[in-house]
Amino acid sequence: MAEGTPTPKKKKPVTVMQDRLKGYQSRLIDISPDNPHLSLTRAYVCAFAIIAALTIAGHLVVSYTTTKQKDDAEITFAMTGMRSLIDIGVSNASSYRTSGNKFDGDLLRDTLKRLKDTRTVLRNYNDGDVNQMFAEAPYLLDDRMEDFVESALDFMSYRSTDKFEKFRDEFVDLTRDAKAFSIKLDQAIELYHENVTAQIAWSHRIQYFTAMIVLSVLLLEAYYIFRPLVKRLAAYSKELIRLALEDELTGLKNRRAVMQMANAEISRFTRTAKPFAVVLCDLDKFKTVNDTYGHKVGDLVLKHYAKLMTNSLRGYDVIGRFGGEEFVIMLPQTEPDKALAIINRFRETVASTPCPYVDKNDQQQLLKFTSSFGIAAVKSHKPVSLDTLLIRADECLYEAKDKGRNCAIMVVLEDKPAAAPITPPPGEVPV
């Protein structure tokens, strides 16, 4: 070293460590005093990328959970429906064995068909757990269902009413196969419910940890990203439920929702024997309305009709749209005479409350229309199916159409069903 050259001072160990830490930090997030905006941008993009990835992952998990819950609810409902059909089939067979009535035999045959149709619906879901329960041990539900169907068909092959006492063995085989099928189906439903609950719980845990990681990465980004996402998912779930149970045009319950509530009312009737009525409604000459005024006015008429139903009927009555211009009303805990009075009062309201619309000349107009009704009322405490009620109500509705429309025809299902047609004077109908 040349003379006069100052000797460099050695840095203290603490200072050396601080410099190294700053170097590591700079390389980690590229902080540089010369380009602070670039450093902040990179740090924000890195944090945002992590949050975005976790948010997308969480969104996919939530979407999967929502779809899974919907599918699982429908699958469970279908399997439970199969369980009910087994009991209905045994009941039909018992009635057929006692009476030899062809009607009871047809009901049993229809129950078997509905059982097979429900199995077809379950196949369409392509759910591995369900397919395994139906195809493999220990449940073998397909084989047990086939045994039950074959036993029922063998039993129905006997039609001689004076020899039904001799077919006790065939009926015993039928009830034995039904019991074996029911037990295994109940076990399968319980296991499936446990598996679904575990899967949903696992999905919920993934959502929870994803949210926690997002919050730990950057609280502000989580606050401005995760909360709107939750709101959107909540709206999405609510929309799914609305689409599943609500008619989009009228806002009434759709066919699926009405059928579910009607079956529940029938179950309550079985327990309490409180009377009720099922009503099918149809707008008179609605095709003429569409052809004359256009489908836009037709939609206004349907919405106007739905609003009249909501405002005129009781709060606990079940109302819904079956499709097209056909609507359904469920009147719980209502005697037949009262049901007819309620429907006639509503019929008069429809006839006297025209639908406002704007014509092609932008002029406000009123369109009068009427409605016809078919009522199937249940009074006696006897087994009754929803299909039977709808068929009888539909027959009454056709009779109302034949009698000039704008009227209500009622049939009371008792031990010996007898129609009680009521034909008020027809009102005005659109032409």
Same domain, 351 and 406: yes
CATH number where 393 lies: 3.30.70.270
pLDDT by residue for the chain (431 residues), tens only, comes to 455 555 555 555 556 555 654 554 444 444 444 544 455 455 566 767 777 777 777 777 777 777 777 777 788 888 888 888 888 888 888 887 777 777 877 888 888 888 888 888 888 888 777 888 887 888 788 888 888 888 888 777 765 554 555 566 677 777 887 888 788 888 888 887 787 777 777 777 777 777 777 667 656 555 555 565 566 667 778 777 777 778 888 888 888 888 888 888 888 887 877 889 999 999 999 999 999 999 999 999 999 999 999 999 998 899 999 888 999 999 998 999 999 999 999 999 999 999 999 988 888 999 999 999 999 998 876 677 888 899 999 999 999 999 999 999 999 987 554 444 444 444 443 43
Neighbours of 420 (CB within 10 A): 14
| Cα–Cα nearest to 308, from 395, 371, 242 | 371
- Decide which of 182, 215, 245 is a domain's last residue: 245
Same domain, 232 and 345: no
CATH number where 213 lies: 1.20.1420
Instruction: Identify whether 296 is part of a domain.
Output: yes
Same domain, 189 and 72: yes
Q: Which residue range forms the structural domain that includes residue 357?
A: 255-422
Confidence (pLDDT) at 152: 80
Confidence (pLDDT) at 421: 45
Confidence (pLDDT) at 234: 77
Find the length of the chain: 431
Confidence (pLDDT) at 227: 62
- Each residue's pLDDT tens digit, 353-369: 999 999 888 889 999 99
- Decide which of 245, 272, 307 is a domain's last residue: 245
Q: Which amino acid is at 413?
A: L
* Distance, CA of 22 to CA of 419 (rounded, Å): 94
Same domain, 187 and 97: yes
How are beta strands 355-358 and 364-367 bridged, if at all?
antiparallel
Neighbours of 161 (CB within 10 A): 11
Confidence (pLDDT) at 429: 39
Q: Which residues of 183-217 are buried (b: 16+ CB within 10 A; e: fewer)?
A: ebbeebbeebeeebeebeeebeebbeebbebbeeb
Instruction: Identify whether 20 is part of a domain.
Output: no
Q: Is the pTM of this model over 0.85?
A: no
- Each residue's pLDDT tens digit, 105-141: 788 888 888 888 888 888 888 877 788 888 788 878 8
Could you tell me if 360 and 312 are in contact, meaning their C-beta atoms sit under 8 angstroms apart? no
Instruction: Identify whether 352 is part of a domain.
Output: yes
Same domain, 81 and 214: yes
Could you tell me if 366 and 354 are in contact, meaning their C-beta atoms sit under 8 angstroms apart? yes
How many structural domains compose the chain?
2
Within 8 A by CB and 6+ apart from 254, the residues are: 245, 246, 247, 320, 321
CA distances, 136 to each of 128, 131, 250, 354, 370 (Å) = 11, 8, 45, 61, 56
Confidence (pLDDT) at 228: 58
Confidence (pLDDT) at 118: 84
Instruction: Identify whether 207 is part of a domain.
Output: yes
